[in-house]
Every structure is written in C-alpha cells, then in structure tokens.
Amino acid sequence: MKRDELKRFTIEREGLALAAYDSGGDGLLVVFQHGLCGDIGQVAEAFPDKRYLRLIGLECRGHGASQAGHDVSIALFADDVVALIETIGAPVVLGGISMGAAISSRIAVKRPDLVHGLVLARPAWVAQAGPENMRPNAEVGALLEKLSPDMARAAFEASETHEMLAREAPDNLESLMGFFDREPTDVTAQLLMRISADGPGISEEDLTALAVPTMVLATARDVIHPMAHAERLAALIQGAKLVEITPKGIDKSAYTSEFHAALSAFLKGF
C-alpha cells in the first residue's frame, strides 16, 4: 500500500495531537501499528493493497507527525490506540510490527471486546519487560542522550554490538543506524531507552487465556525480534498460527511480498 493513499486525520489525547491514517472504503477494518521509532510509512509498506481491507493506523506519541508529550510507555501507547478504535467503531482486527505487536497483545488482553483478530509481526516482546533482545536499541538511545549524533554514531560503530549485528542481523543494524539521523534527537533517545526497558504489562497466563484468531509472523536472522519470541507467543495463544517469511536482510522484496501474502491469507478468514 502506498503511504500517500492514506488520508490523515487527528485525534486529541491529553492535550496532544496524534496523527492517524485511514485508507478508506468499507472493507474489513484492520488497525495496524508501527514499531519503535517507526511511522505510518512502515505500516503502509507492510500492508497489502486490497479493496476488501480498510487500514487504519496511529502514529504513537513522539513518532511521525504525532506530538511527543512528557511520557512514553507501551501501556500509554495502547491506551491511545484503544481511544482510536473506540472512535472508529469496534471490534477490529488488530496487529502491528515489533512494538506494534506488543501494543496489540496488551489491548487484546485488556480489551478483548475491541479485538476479533490479532496479528503479531516480528514480536520483540512476549510478556517480560526489558528483554535482552532490546539491548541494542537501549544502547543507541544511551549514546544519543549523552553525545552528538555524529559522535554517538562513531561510538556505536566501534562497539561489539555493531560488530555482532553486522554479522548476525544486518537488517537490525540498518534500522539502528537510521536512528542517529532521526529528529528530534532527545525524543529518539528517550523512546529507545524507555520503551526498550518497558513491556506490554501482561503475563504469559494472560496470553494463554486469549480466545481470538491469531497469526504470529516471524523471520530468522533477527536479533531484536528473535524467532524464539514468535514461537513462544504462538505456543501460548490458543490456536495461533506461526508463519515464517524471508528475512528482510536477505531479500527485502521477498520479505515484503511474503508479508503481504501471509497477511492477506489470514485476513480473508474474517
């Protein structure tokens, strides 16, 4: 789906203007959320352009065109998405990538009345706060907090984390390197540190109690979104389907095509 095909609108939350986007039409309503330090462009790229689907997405506080405010957390982001869903009408198929998946799993547990389908793509969390796989994001955030972007980039390039990611997860590394150019720098630093230390605020027992059709989408060669997290979520959520696709770092075109195909196949069931 093309980003410029989405119509932007605004919702107000606690005095902040948050940017939301709607593909329009009367198709199946799907609310899909971006990852940490991403925006609606990430969602549009991942979402299939099908007339039977209506995509709506919210740029979380401090992301894209949404104002940042003074506080950020997965729970707060989830509350904002709940407000969006209640505005547009519920229930919806809910999903997201990475942080967006964590937001979605929290909403599915806390507000099951709003969700009749769940998509967890490249999850970076299961239930635990501050998982080890989020350490590279926190490391970049800490460097940006104390150094200029150029000095922070140089320090990271000399780190063991950079060396490890270049070897094991080049797509993760490419994303992290982009954060040194993201503005405002102070907001980027706080998002990377605080969200990396956060979690969805739910338990594995909560996940086992979910009774909603679920697809978990995963790739190999991904340190920040480990296959083990996807496998664990698929095992915990009753009836969840685990789908593995080509890693973006190996073949981005195949990744995108397979992401679209998997999502389209899942959504046709509603």
The whole-number pLDDT of residue 269 equals: 86
Residue 152 structural domain: 132-192
Give pLDDT tens digits for 29-39.
999 999 999 99
Q: In what order do the strands lie in the sheet with 214-218?
A: 7-13, 16-22, 53-58, 28-33, 92-97, 115-121, 214-218, 241-244
Residue 4 has pLDDT above 90, yes or no: no
Give pLDDT tens digits for 215-257.
999 999 999 999 999 999 999 999 999 999 999 989 999 999 9
Give pLDDT tens digits for 144-194.
999 999 999 999 999 999 999 999 999 999 999 999 999 999 999 999 999
Q: What is the pTM of this model?
A: 0.96
What is the domain count for the chain? 2
Task: Specify whether 79 is located in the same domain as 145.
Answer: no
Give pLDDT tens digits for 121-147.
999 999 999 999 999 999 999 999 999
Question: What are the start-end ranges of the H helices in 111-210?
Answer: 135-146, 149-157, 160-168, 170-178, 185-196, 204-208
From 147, 169, 192, give the residue that closes a domain.
Answer: 192
Task: Specify whether 247 is located in the same domain as 121.
Answer: yes
| Neighbour tally for 17: CB within 10 Å | 11
Q: Residue 54, SS3?
A: strand
From 192, 225, 242, give the residue that closes a domain.
Answer: 192
Task: Specify whether 143 is located in the same domain as 242.
Answer: no
How far is the C-alpha of 224 from the C-alpha of 215, rounded, in Å?
19
Q: Residue 254, SS3?
A: helix
Task: Specify whether 223 is located in the same domain as 123.
Answer: yes
